A and B are shown apart, each in its own frame.
Chain A
Amino acid sequence: MNIRRVFAMAFKETLQVWRDPRSLAIALLMPVMQMVMLGYGVSLDIKHVPLCVYDQENSQESRAIVERFTAPGWFSISQTLVSEADLRNAMDRGECSMAIVIPVDFSRTLATTGSAPIQAIFDATDVNTTNIALGYAQGTVAQANAQTSAQWKAAHGVHPSPVGQVDVEPSTWFNETLDSRNFIIPGVVAVILALVGAQLTSLTISREWERGTMEQLISTPVTALEVMLGKLMPYFLIGLLDAAFCLVSAVYWFDVPFRGSLGTLFVTTVLFLIVVLGIGYLISVRIRSQLGASQIALLVTMLPTTLLSGYTFPIEQMPAPIQAITLIVYPRYYVTILRAIFLKGSSLPDLWAPLLGLFIFALIIIWLATRAFHKRLD
């Protein structure tokens, strides 16, 4: 391999990207736009879920329980009901997504036994919202339980019966504020790099074919490997620049806590960029028009990455066959890695499993890429 020819290719490619408004837009504008759109647009937090309250007792204790639900802002009382029929009507008319029913003997039962049931009813037509609201409700009740239990123990010296009551201790790790943004933004960074990276390199070989510069290029002594390395070099630097932009804005704009080391971040990002740029390059070698190549690159990266990488929809909740498919959705490994580095401060050994996944991908891509391009017209 002749390093001079590699640098000549890199120099030429850099000039072309610099002078091509479309490539420049993909390289510099696309990450900014996606960071804004995905960063702000996607939030799994729900606020002010409409709540109906059917408080049959209307005592101090029952009002305290209702207060617990509304205080953090997750729920807002839309109606206060006075009968079972009202409840049914309110649910039917969609005036509330959740209703709590407090029995008439609530405070008395609580005072005598140390525990009292309340009923929560969910409108499960929007499963996603219901799941999240259910989570909030369970958290709220668990907190109330803990407090009541503690008060009971203080008064009676023992935990309230029935004995063996499960003591729910709500504790959220790594994302204490329960802000889904902290969880999503690192995923967004992975998604952006996967999309932008493949878009960038998808144009590189197809541009030569489309503009008729390939024939003269392949008549020179430059080897296929030199063409590949030289061409990928500038995109690799652009990819690092984009990664730096996304990660910096994640930390300083979206206030996602960063607990890991920059070294771990760099090594894993380099590995991911190799895979992502390699995918675009492989497409570019096959498709001889720029538009076609960029469309294919979008198709290949967009849907799997947004749906199956686990950046919004948790992989653990997918059906088993889909989970198996996600093994080949390479961004999932980087999503996992970034989240772990950001929120848990994981180091390379902690990340061995997703790293191994990425590494296998990188090897396959490199193997394919070095064999993909032939200096032939036919």
Chain B
Amino acid sequence: MSGNPIEVAVRVQGLSKNFGTVQAVRNVNFSVSPGDIFGLVGPDGAGKTTIMRMLAGVLSPDAGSIAVDGVDVSANPEQAKLRLSYMPQRFGLYEDLTVAENIFFYGELFSVPRTERIARSKELLEAAGLQAFRRRLAGQLSGGMKQKLGLICALIHTPQVLLLDEPTTGVDPVSRRDFWAILYDLRERGVAIVLSTAYMDEAERCTRLALLHTGEIRLCDTPARIKEAMPGTLLAISSAHPRFLREIIAGKPGVLGTLLMGDRIHVRVDDPARRIPELQILLADQGVGIADIVRAEPGIEDVFVALLGQGNKS
């Protein structure tokens, strides 16, 4: 990680936002350093988009403050906006303008010098694999290409902070890989990236994560330490009938939670040394036969479910 670790690119303090009687965001605090990829993770309705919009200065908070590179977003919105780039969840570029025209337009809005704009747009178009589509109308691009174009327009100036709201939703794997390659490159240049995602695999690629639920941050740390914070030990049991297995195991003594993971289930237990033999006996009694029970590395999803759903909900 480059830069001074004390330096803060984004500082959020006591952020709250209500829509009518719904508390969309409640007393959220976090800070993002240059070179961080900070992930806001949570289910739909957790408040991810509302937080991103307030960071971008397009929605005003009811309480709390946001500083981007030391500039208060509410007090000096235009100054703050010069330092950040925002990619909304819904494609926000002009579909009736070509790729090149969109890039030109956003370059001009950020007053990027002409030579710099040309050089950067060439570089970014190549990195995104979009050189051949410069003259195509943005509306005629595929979903993945649209998102990459969004990223190019966001990066045509040099932002200190990049805000991406669910940037890879509906994006094919190849485009997603291109996308992340660009993000890692930016990270090395010291750009602070804040992204929201509902994809757990994507969450694992972040340097720091905030787990959001009903507008509150439940946990905020590096992915590794978040995993350590999971109560209990995770076991994986493979089976041809994972649903059936789960029904048998859920709620048994020492079982803290279960989670379906395709052809296996994740079982969270308090004491593996004692519970593994117990589970094997239980499964044998139910006629499932001897199952292979192994310890598993928890993923972010396991932690999430452990923290939020007590493991019993699907």
Contact = CB atoms under 8 A, between A and B. Distances in A.
B66 interface: no
A140 B108 CA distance: 70
B151 to A, nearest CB: 12
A215 interface: yes
Interface stretch (B7-15, B86-94, B190-198, B224-232): B86-94
Interface in B19-65: 53, 56-60
Interface in A188-243: 211-223
Given A8-B105, A8-B109, A15 B77 contact: no
Chain B: number of interface residues, binned into ranges: 35 or more
Nearest to B56: A219
Nearest to B112: A4
Nearest to A19: B96
A213 B93 contact: yes
Interface in B233-290: none
Contact of A216 (B57, B88, B108, B110): B88
Interface string A85-112: 0000000000000000000000000000
Contacts of A223: 78
Interface in A157-206: none
A16 B53 contact: no
B227 to A, nearest CB: 34
B204 interface: no
B208 interface: no
Contact of B92 (A5, A16, A213): A213
B96 A20 contact: yes
Interface in B182-225: none
Contacts of A7: 108
Given A5-B111, A8-B105, A219 B96 contact: no
Nearest to B79: A221
Given A19-B96, A220-B110, A212 B60 contact: no
A156 interface: no
B78 A215 contact: no
Interface stretch (A63-71, A141-149, A313-321, A370-378): A370-378
B108 A211 contact: no
A2 interface: yes
Contacts of A378: 59-60
11 contacts: A5-B111, A212-B90, A212-B92, A213-B92, A213-B94, A214-B92, A219-B85, A219-B163, A223-B78, A376-B58, A377-B59
Task: Give the 10 A-B CB pairs with smallest separation, nearest first.
Answer: A216-B92, A8-B108, A219-B86, A215-B88, A220-B109, A219-B56, A221-B81, A212-B90, A221-B78, A19-B96
Given A215-B53, A377-B53, 9 more contacts: A11-B105, A16-B97, A211-B95, A214-B92, A216-B88, A217-B92, A219-B58, A221-B81, A378-B60
